[in-house]
Amino acid sequence: MESLQVTRLMSCKLSANISHKACSFIPSRQLGFSSLSRRSFQNGKLTVARSDITENGGGFGGLDDSSNSNSIEEEDDDEEEEEKNGLMLGLDRDDCGSVIALHLIPPSGEVTIDSHQDEAADTKGEDEGIEEEKGGEEEIRSRVTYNIVFVTAEAAPYSKTGGLGDVCGSLPGVLAGCGHRVMVVSPRYLNGTSADKNFAGAYDVDRHIKVPCFGGEQEVAFFHEYKKGVDWVFVDHPSFHRPGNLYGDSHGAFGDNQFRFTLLCHAACEAPLVLPLGGYTYGEKCLFLVNDWHAGLVPVLLASKYRPFGIYKDARSILVIHNLAHQGVEPAASFKNLGLPWEWYGPLEWVFPTWARTHALDTGEAVNILKGAIVTADRILTVSKGYAWEITTVEGGHGLNELLSSRRIVLNGIVNGIDVTEWDSSSDEHISFHYSADDLSGKARCKTALQQELGLPIRPECPLIGFIGRLDYQKGIDLIRWAIPELMEDNVQFVMLGSGDPLYEDWMRAAEKTYRDKFRGWVGFNVPISHRITAGCDILLMPSRFEPCGLNQLYAMRYGTVPVVHATGGLRDTVENFNPYAGDGSGEGTGWTFSPLTKESMLEALRTAIMTYRDHKSTWEALMRRGMQRDFTWETAAIHYEQVFEWACIDPPYIT
């Protein structure tokens, strides 16, 4: 039996024999989809078999029963079984033969719903996805599910150095909870430390493939763990087994990172085709979410290696830019190592400006993997709306602003979410006292406990300012360093947690000795301490030069700690500047943003926050509560991701 795959309830391609003017589509409720919309269909499709049983005769699509495309002939046993379990789609026609309605028919031939009135009597409360509108009308939206493949260099808790690991460790599980089939492909890092136990639950799936790159065929294996509804797939190769962190060691970045992540991209393209996870493969119809330059070869491979041979022709790729500053740039001579056809050099071609070349004979020719991903991806995402705009500017584009501006029509920003089970002031295992927006009493006790732990004088009336992050130029540490002498003249306390540039690490140690009763600097990173600082501080300072999204300001607001941030990227998107005159005098906003990025501007914002904390307690508590009530969950972010998935699947692949 011929079948029709309906991917949307309200749209259908019509045969050329049907008059578009005469064809009308009735609401999905009248088609009887309401009882079906609750169910999950594989690949997001509802298979509907064609039937000749219609009230006014005629075959589907205006074809008569002799048409080869829709005629019913003798079928084997398997097809008969499929017909028994399926639903049939019939057409109603007027006296002139024009299509006037569609309806579903069960295998018995009985029309499922004959009229709107019959169905309306039994719809109340039948589906959680139905929402009541003002006029009493109910609207049903189809649930389209996708096979989603995350490709990433890191994913918590298996591997993590920053926000990328948090995103790729949290978002996949939320999308899986929405009904999608989700795979995460990441390297299997082993460095001989206790971190290796993160991969203890993954087993070898006994699928080895040969990757043609770097002058030969490199063999990689796959490990797999199914957890929280997600297929976690780890690419195994000796290059991922070495001391150090994910990208380098004490001597700097690993010299073979291009080789390591080229293997990751090739393996990620093969994984949906060769790994029978849960008994069957993901197949060719996938949505690849490729994160930063480490995964940037995936859309290029789809366009150059697979689609020309009819593979992955229905797949889509979405590039997620977490930090445009890192682009995977290597000498032009390395192109031959990537396993790409020579005619695809153009999308990756990169020429440094004259001022950036090392010597007079340097031509500046290079390959830029992130540029190739921007050129070939079907859609592009960043981790905030503000950052999506900033990367199209000269100041924030890092040389790719013109290219990104040319693709602005497919460029969107979605603010990251946070794990609200891990970051919850009412149940956090790392803090001594719990509290909530309804009862803030535990917040003051957390502050006292932090002052005791750090050896600072216990002074509830003294505002405690915190900083958590990398000690580098991007995070604006130089501004903090310049501002500390003036800030310490005020009646405040300051605590910093982070590591990075040795210059700033040494400065933190020196400042702690200079301002013994006011300043503490913790060199390094400690998860429990970061939770206690977030809970115990009154103000969190983030003077980042650029911040694609930022997570610490989200954690701070959830814990009732008021952020003071530079108005850039995701910081500007997530922190609403305090306005005491709005809301009929009750005020609105969740913190302070400052611009331009100068010491004076930062100090002005800090002093305003300090004054509010001291002199306007009720206003300060309102600020805390508004921040704690903001919705920055991954469930909210996932809704926006699903919208981008839909857009990506509407149009044909960008590069064929």
Q: pLDDT tier at 136 (50, 70, 90 boundaries)?
A: very low
Q: pLDDT tier at 8 (50, 70, 90 boundaries)?
A: very low
Determine which of 89-103, 469-483, 571-585, 607-621 has the lowest per-residue pLDDT on average. Answer: 89-103
Q: What is the predicted pLDDT for the residue at 525? A: 83
Residues constituting the chain: 656
Give Cβ neighbours of residue 562 (< 8 Å, ≥ 6 apart).
538, 539, 540, 556, 590, 591, 592, 609, 613, 620, 623, 624, 627
Determine which of 92-101, 167-176, 315-324, 394-403 has the lowest per-residue pLDDT on average. Answer: 92-101
DSSP 30: G
Quote the percentage of the chain above a pLDDT of 70: 78
Q: What is the predicted pLDDT for the residue at 504? A: 95
Q: What mean pLDDT do residues 466-491 have?
A: 95
Q: pLDDT tier at 158 (50, 70, 90 boundaries)?
A: very high
* Residue of 348, 296, 350 lying closest to 319 (CA atoms): 296
Same fold, 147-417+639-650 and 440-630: yes
Q: What is the predicted pLDDT for the residue at 90? A: 55
- Residue pair 292/325 in contact by the 8 Å Cβ criterion: no
Fold entry, domain 440-630 = Rossmann fold (3.40.50)
* Residue of 198, 242, 204, 238 lying closest to 218 (CA atoms): 238
- 500: pLDDT strictly greater than 70: yes
Q: What is the predicted pLDDT for the residue at 115? A: 38
- Residue pair 498/470 in contact by the 8 Å Cβ criterion: yes
Q: What mean pLDDT do residues 43-51 have?
A: 42
Q: pLDDT tier at 92 (50, 70, 90 boundaries)?
A: low
Per residue in 537-547, pLDDT (tens digit) is 999 999 999 99
Q: What mean pLDDT do residues 179-206 have?
A: 95
What are the contacts of 595-603 at 24+ separation with CB within 8 A? Answer: 595/566, 595/567, 595/568, 597/476, 597/479, 597/543, 597/545, 597/566, 597/568, 598/479, 599/479, 599/482, 599/483, 602/476, 602/479, 602/483, 602/541, 602/543, 602/564, 602/566, 603/483, 603/486, 603/487
- Residue pair 587/579 in contact by the 8 Å Cβ criterion: yes
Dist. CA 251–CA 428, nearest whole Å: 37
Mean pLDDT, the chain, rounded, equals 83
- 25: pLDDT strictly greater than 70: no
Q: pLDDT tier at 88 (50, 70, 90 boundaries)?
A: low
Q: What mean pLDDT do residues 388-402 have?
A: 95
Q: What is the predicted pLDDT for the residue at 91? A: 52
Per residue in 338-357, pLDDT (tens digit) is 999 999 999 999 998 888 88
Tokens 């609105």, residue located: 588
Dist. CA 344–CA 376, nearest whole Å: 11
Tokens for 211? 């990757």
Give Cβ neighbours of residue 205 (< 8 Å, ≥ 6 apart).
222, 223, 224, 275, 277
Dist. CA 518–CA 491, nearest whole Å: 9
- Residue pair 591/402 in contact by the 8 Å Cβ criterion: no
- 1: pLDDT strictly greater than 90: no
Q: What is the predicted pLDDT for the residue at 9? A: 39
Dist. CA 227–CA 234, nearest whole Å: 13
- Residue pair 380/317 in contact by the 8 Å Cβ criterion: no
**DSSP per-residue letters across 340-372:** --GGGHHHHEEE--GGG-SSTT---EEEEHHHH
- Residue pair 481/553 in contact by the 8 Å Cβ criterion: no
Q: pLDDT tier at 179 (50, 70, 90 boundaries)?
A: very high
Q: What is the predicted pLDDT for the residue at 72? A: 38
Dist. CA 631–CA 637, nearest whole Å: 10
In the chain, the amino acid numbered 403 is L
Helices (H) and strands (E) in the chain, counts: 18, 27
Q: What mean pLDDT do residues 144-150 have?
A: 94
Per residue in 555-602, pLDDT (tens digit) is 999 999 999 999 999 999 999 999 988 876 667 999 999 999 999 999
Give Cβ neighbours of residue 511 (< 8 Å, ≥ 6 apart).
484, 519, 521
Q: Which residues pair with 563 in a beta bridge?
A: 540
Tokens for 19? 């008059």
Domain ranges across the chain = 147-417+639-650, 440-630
Q: What mean pLDDT do residues 623-634 have?
A: 95
Q: pLDDT tier at 63 (50, 70, 90 boundaries)?
A: very low
Q: What mean pLDDT do residues 44-49 have?
A: 42
Superfamily of domain 147-417+639-650: Glycogen Phosphorylase B; (3.40.50.2000)
Quote the percentage of the chain above a pLDDT of 90: 70
Tokens for 431? 């803090």
Q: What is the predicted pLDDT for the residue at 423? A: 94
Q: What is the predicted pLDDT for the residue at 56? A: 40
Give Cβ neighbours of residue 656 (< 8 Å, ≥ 6 apart).
303, 307, 313
pTM of the model: 0.77
Dist. CA 262–CA 275, nearest whole Å: 19
Q: What mean pLDDT do residues 412-426 have?
A: 94
- Residue pair 532/453 in contact by the 8 Å Cβ criterion: yes
Per residue in 247-287, pLDDT (tens digit) is 998 888 999 999 999 999 999 999 999 999 999 999 999 99
Q: pLDDT tier at 69 (50, 70, 90 boundaries)?
A: very low
CA angle 35, 117, 123 (to 5 degrees): 30
Give Cβ neighbours of residue 100 (< 8 Å, ≥ 6 apart).
22, 23, 24, 92, 93, 94
CA 71 centroid distance within chain = 46
Determine which of 69-83, 230-244, 482-496, 567-581 has the lowest per-residue pLDDT on average. Answer: 69-83
- Residue pair 605/591 in contact by the 8 Å Cβ criterion: no
CA distances from 16 to 57, 100, 635, 652 (A): 19, 16, 42, 21
Q: pLDDT tier at 93 (50, 70, 90 boundaries)?
A: low
How do beta strands 99-105 and 87-93 pair? antiparallel
